[in-house]
A and B are shown apart, each in its own frame.
Chain A
Amino acid sequence: MFTLLQIAARNLARNRKRTLLLGGAIAIVTVLLVLLTALFNGTQASMLRNATTLSTGHVNVAGFYKITSGTAAPVVTNYKKLREIVEKETPGLQSVVVRGRGFGKLVSDVSSQMAVVSGIDIEQEANFKNILEIVHGDVTKLSEPHAILIFEQTAERLELKIGDNVTLSSQTFRGAANSIDCKVVAIAKPLGMFSSFFSYVPMTTLRELYGFDPATAGGIQLYLKDWEQAEAVAARLRVELVKSGYRVMDHTEKPYWQKFDIVKREDWTGQKIDVTTWMDEDPFMRWTLVGFRAIIVIVFMVLLAIIIIGVMNTLWMAIRERTREVGALRAIGMQRHTVLAMFVTEGALLALISSTAGAILGVLAAYGLNAAHLKMIKGFQMVLMSETVTLLVNVPTVLLSLVVIAGVTTLGSILPAWRAARLQPVEAMHSSN
């Protein structure tokens, strides 16, 4: 094996130009893959951090209360008892936040718009203050009754500034219309597509709007140590809550504000609990990530196809040039599988060295791009919920990229190597190449 490795290494060194050209191409593909996956990981982490702070937990235990079959309020009654059960039954729980949920109309002197209204207790939400970039006002004033935080798009549309009043109107628990006047205390920079119709008020204000008592909340947002366990935890909670006597809604991949009409049409009254994950509550983020991943896969496939063709072509050339050598080696007693191994080793060695170099360069480039704090163009900022390009280098992903590129490239060398192994020694020995 060592001799085969030596033959492979020396043949690669002998054909320096060809090796550098193909090795460079493999390295560039690896760099691109490492950068793309780092960009995906960075975007995912950034979107997840932002979204799970603004509108959802990793897992959400919320639900609807129907006083009559035609109404639907996005609340859970006696949330403290529910929280106790949930905290007990959630493995890997990191933190819990209680939020209010609402959906109503924001009316200013000049215009109006529908808005998702979240009730928050700002003093218990450190992350919220860190994630949002406040362009006007003071986010801590959300602790004051009838305060409201809106995003820049809403402020522009409704022509609102700090200190202005905006009327928040909605339908109460019992189906009656209610409205309260809120004072704009903070205007935040947009954070993703949905921020244009998100707003935040103190929990007390939301309870007042809907006529809820203090034991009522919109939902319990759970933050896990490992967000990738969200689906499993949600599934487990659905089962455990049923065991604890709660009625649990069937799982639907939709945010709560898209479920009002469905719930209203259903023929039941009282409380039903809805357990969702961040992917259910922020479908836009899910679509973005799925789309992003699809783009990466397509780009990767195209690049891989180019590399495989390159490897096959290069090995064809190497085999053509060394046909007589193959014939001689077969004549002196080299078995077909050893010929195959000899050329595959050459392909594998080139792939391994090039993809390792590419992975190292890719990691360095990722750190370099992060250090450069490159600003994204506006459209991407909205979609990816981040102002700057953020790349997250994840060692297992880099290793996987390296292994995949090296592996696929090696696979690409099997066909020409197999053809070389099938050469008849007598024909190969007398080849004119």
Chain B
Amino acid sequence: MATTPSSQPIVHLSNVDKDYKLGAVTVTALRQVSLEIAPGEFTVIAGPSGSGKTTLLNLIGCVDVATRGQVIVAGQDTGKLAEGDLTRLRLNALGFIFQSFNLVGVLDAFQNVEFPLLLQKKMNAAQRKERVMDLLNRVGIAEYAHHRPGELSGGQRQRVAIARALVTLPRIVLADEPTANLDSVTGNQILDLMQELNREGTTFLFSTHDPKVVSRAGRVVRLVDGRIVAEETAEQYQTRQA
């Protein structure tokens, strides 16, 4: 199912805690989390609501920073990076797929996918067009390139989001409940697509509590109350759940 992980991890978490202040109360969302993600993995962070899945994904996605411990992404210690450097790291090393797609409503599919390349300022228009159309073809919605998100179905929007996440050739794609807003047929199609991309070498890290997603994982990291309680295969996870 998953490709064989290579030795050098893309993500390395060591004894990570994450606290949130809610008024006078401090809530600890993650406790002593240590984790490594190697290139080519298709990993799922599973757990019930409130277990800290999204928080963990946010830390790895560099949209949040750890309270204690060390988070290394693509070789960079995120705790030591300034805001601008974190943003650059997200742009160049990470791809995001959101539960509710989060496309720019006023841009069409092509422009949404092209947007990260514009932010990178590394390619000219012809190169961008080639890359974007290649990806739109890859995710099967090239014919909808000039449709805006409002004119697309949920599944098509998520395909656009996947293309957008992949367009910068990131080291890892983070997907937060990517099938939660999709019907089961579309959800399965999206997962098929991600698995196919994974087989071609893209590293994926999901957060989900959807058993269908978990069943596809090469590795399942199980979170409970902010702690990693197990790292297991999808079969082990399903057996235990059953």
A binding-site residues for B, Cβ under 8 Å: 3, 6-7, 10-11, 14, 324-325, 327-336, 338, 424-426, 429-430
Contact = CB atoms under 8 A, between A and B. Distances in A.
Interface string B91-108: 110111010101111110
B84 A11 contact: no
Say which size band chain B's interface belongs to: 20 to 34
B98 A429 contact: yes
Given A325-B105, A328-B102, A3 B115 contact: yes
A287 B176 CA distance: 70
Nearest to B161: A328
A6 B105 CA distance: 12
Contacts of A3: 107, 111, 114-115, 118
Closest 6 CB pairs of A and B: A333-B91, A328-B102, A10-B106, A425-B63, A426-B64, A426-B63
B119 A331 contact: no
A430 B102 CA distance: 11
Contacts of B92: 333
Nearest to A8: B106
A11 B64 CA distance: 28
A75 B6 CA distance: 105
Given A3-B118, A11-B106, A338-B119, A332 B111 contact: no
Interface in B7-44: none
Nearest to B90: A333
Contacts of B94: 333
Interface in B51-92: 54, 58, 61, 63-64, 83-84, 87-88, 90-92
Contact of B87 (A7, A327, A333): A333
Nearest to A333: B91
Contacts of B159: none
Given A327-B63, A328-B98, 20 more contacts: A3-B111, A3-B114, A7-B104, A10-B106, A10-B107, A11-B106, A14-B106, A324-B100, A325-B104, A328-B103, A329-B115, A331-B96, A332-B95, A332-B115, A332-B119, A333-B91, A333-B92, A334-B91, A338-B119, A429-B98
Contacts of A11: 106
B83 A7 contact: no
Given A3-B115, A328-B96, A426-B64, A333 B88 contact: yes
Q: Looking at chain A's contact residues, is the secondary structure mostly helix, strand, loop, or mixed?
A: helix
Contact of B116 (A330, A333, A425, A430): A333
A156 to B, nearest CB: 70
A329 B164 CA distance: 11
Nearest to B86: A425
Given A324-B102, A331-B96, A7 B107 contact: yes
A333 B87 CA distance: 5
Nearest to A337: B84
A424 to B, nearest CB: 8
7 contacts: A7-B106, A10-B106, A328-B96, A332-B96, A332-B119, A336-B87, A426-B63
B102 A325 contact: yes
A300 B172 CA distance: 55
Nearest to A13: B106
Contacts of A333: 87-88, 90-92, 94, 116, 119-120, 168
A328 B119 CA distance: 14
Contacts of B165: 332
A428 to B, nearest CB: 9
Interface string B210-223: 00000000000000
Contacts of B114: 3
Nearest to B176: A429
Contacts of A430: 54
Contacts of B105: 14, 325
Nearest to A335: B87
B164 A332 contact: yes
A52 to B, nearest CB: 57
A331 B104 contact: no
Contacts of B164: 332
A242 B107 CA distance: 73
B130 to A, nearest CB: 18
